[in-house]
Structure 1
Amino acid sequence: MKNLSFTQEFFLCALKPQGSTTLTNSTESSTCLLAGGLLELLMDCYISIDDKKKMFVNKELSSDKMYLTPVYELIKNNKPMKIETIAEKYAFDFERPDELFKSVGRSIVEDGYVIEESNQGLFKNKVRFLPNESEVTKVVEKLRAEFLEDGNVSDEAIVLGALLNKSGLIKKYFSKYELQKLNDRLKEIKQSEAGTLIKNMVDYIDTWIAIMIAIISTSVV
């Protein structure tokens, strides 16, 4: 089985055991999925942020990142935008969150991380993904080992931990004690002499998600 990106791992952990047509904690998780996609594109240099905090495309998306197409195309097909504008376009076009949900989900079907089912009910355009629970457990145990044991925490684990934390999903997998340890490690990383990119990533997650949840929540009221 191929290794998953933190966006794909977040998606897997955000599915309900019985299967989902949308992510658990829908607004928060949908927001975090978008934030994860943006961070993945940023870390792999597909997009950049200029001095006015606007995002723009640097290069064509590679074949192994095609599941991020809904996010990538949103930026590519518009002039450079701030995160507030991206969040508004994402929130007020009801197809975009569903496109990203399907795109990420389908990218991990072939390797057996999820099973895709078509909805036979009233909403036949809906797709349901059922997670492979043993693979969910592997992701969580890997994350737990990185944050709760001594040693460095990888960039990918930092992002995944922050996304699960901000979405509220971390409580499904971590005890209260473990959650406190995770928060303590994230604070340490932000205050340490770690690379600027890592500090920025954690800050991006905090800032972006606060902005996007506010906008997306308003759009669905």
Structure 2
Amino acid sequence: MKDLSLTQEYFICAVNDKGKLSGFNVDRLVCLLASGLLELQLSGCIRIEGGTKHLLTGFGISVSITGPLPEEKAFLRPLYDYLNQGKPMKMEKILEDYHYSFSGKRLNALIASIGESLAEEGFAQAAEAGLLECVGRFLPTRDAINRVIDLVRSELLEEGEVTDDIAALVILLEKSGVIREYFSRYEQKEMKERLNVIVTGPEGALVKEMLDYVNGMLDMTSVIMTVYT
């Protein structure tokens, strides 16, 4: 089996027992989008920058294309093509288009692409969409779930190097609330303390940057929600 990517790992943990990402849990959906953006950044496909001069975190962040999409990241094609408009895109616009459009087609296309990539590799089983649903369901295998959780435990709860991908995954799991479904309170506390050490350390600049971007996206979503409600 191929190695899983950041976005695939988050997806495996975030879907419910019916293989669905509930539209009622906005934080999980925002973190799915964040996982795709962070993976594209870590792969050298995009640059995420700005936002430091704004009082409201997240506002002022822009995303621009910096390189082609690698073949192994083809499941992120819907997101990459959306971003590839020849000029930087504001994070506010990205969040609005993905989470507050009437049709939801962009978010559904991303979910379907990620889910299909997992099904093709044997990490999930595809199921038909339910009544009134616009995207199919993808149920991760127990082995896939264990694989991700064991990987997180091996890096965050044991002494050794923590990769940027796993640090980003734990940030997403914590911010979305998914982490509570897989780890005890003690384990969550240990991982949070380990991440804090990394973020404040001399080599933790990228992890801190990713944490700030995820926090910014969630804060921005809260502001946008007040406009649409």
Other-structure match for 1:96: 106
Identify if the C-alpha distance between structure 1 residues 92 and 124 changes in structure 2 by more than 3 Å, giving closer, same or farther.
Answer: closer
Aligned residues: CA RMSD: 2.1
More displaced 10-residue stretch of structure 1: 152-161 or 45-54: 45-54
Q: Which amino acid aligns with 1:81?
A: M
Other-structure match for 2:148: 139
Secondary structure, counterpart of 1:178 in structure 2? helix
Deviation at 1:59, TM superposition (A): 2.3
CA contact (8 A) 2:49 2:62 kept: yes
Deviation at 1:78, TM superposition (A): 6.2
Other-structure match for 2:48: 49
Residue 86 (str. 1) matches residue 85 (str. 2): no
CA contact (8 A) 1:155 1:198 kept: yes
Distance (whole Å) between structure 1 residues aligned to residue 49 and residue 170 of structure 2: 27
Secondary structure, counterpart of 2:186 in structure 1? helix
Deviation at 1:43, TM superposition (A): 1.3
For residue 65 of structure 1, the aligned residue among 51, 61, 73 is 73
CA contact (8 A) 1:16 1:131 kept: no
Q: Point out where structure 1 has 5 or more consecutive residues left out of the alignment.
A: none
Identify if the C-alpha distance between structure 1 residues 140 and 214 changes in structure 2 by more than 3 Å, giving closer, same or farther.
Answer: farther
With normalisation by structure 2, the TM-score equals 0.86
Once the two structures are superposed, residues 44-64 of structure 1 have per-residue CA deviations (whole angstroms, 9 ceiling, x without a partner) of 111113567421112222221
For residue 168 of structure 1, the aligned residue among 174, 177, 184 is 177
More displaced 10-residue stretch of structure 1: 59-68 or 2-11: 59-68
Once the two structures are superposed, residues 114-157 of structure 1 have per-residue CA deviations (whole angstroms, 9 ceiling, x without a partner) of 011113x5336431111101210121011012111112211111
In the alignment of these two chains, the number of paired residues is 218
Q: Which amino acid aligns with 2:80?
A: Y
With normalisation by structure 1, the TM-score equals 0.89
The residue correspondences of 1:85-124 to structure 2 (distance < 5 A) are: 85-93=93-101, 94-119=104-129, 121-123=130-132
More displaced 10-residue stretch of structure 1: 47-56 or 200-209: 47-56
Once the two structures are superposed, residues 21-65 of structure 1 have per-residue CA deviations (whole angstroms, 9 ceiling, x without a partner) of 325873111100100110111111111135674211122222211
Residue 33 (str. 1) matches residue 32 (str. 2): yes
Distance (whole Å) between structure 1 residues aligned to residue 117 and residue 93 of structure 2: 27
CA contact (8 A) 1:116 1:127 kept: yes
Residue 207 (str. 1) matches residue 224 (str. 2): no
CA contact (8 A) 2:63 2:90 kept: yes
Same amino acid, percent of matched pairs:
36
Residue 75 (str. 1) matches residue 83 (str. 2): yes
Distance (whole Å) between structure 2 residues aligned to residue 125 and residue 170 of structure 1: 27
Other-structure match for 2:55: none
Deviation at 1:168, TM superposition (A): 0.1
CA contact (8 A) 1:47 1:58 kept: yes
Deviation at 1:196, TM superposition (A): 2.7
Q: Which amino acid aligns with 1:100?
A: L
CA contact (8 A) 2:108 2:134 kept: no
Q: Which amino acid aligns with 1:64?
A: E
Q: Point out where structure 2 has 5 or more consecutive residues left out of the alignment.
A: 51-59
CA contact (8 A) 1:7 1:37 kept: yes
CA contact (8 A) 2:112 2:135 kept: no
CA contact (8 A) 1:10 1:33 kept: yes
Distance (whole Å) between structure 1 residues aligned to residue 133 and residue 34 of structure 2: 28
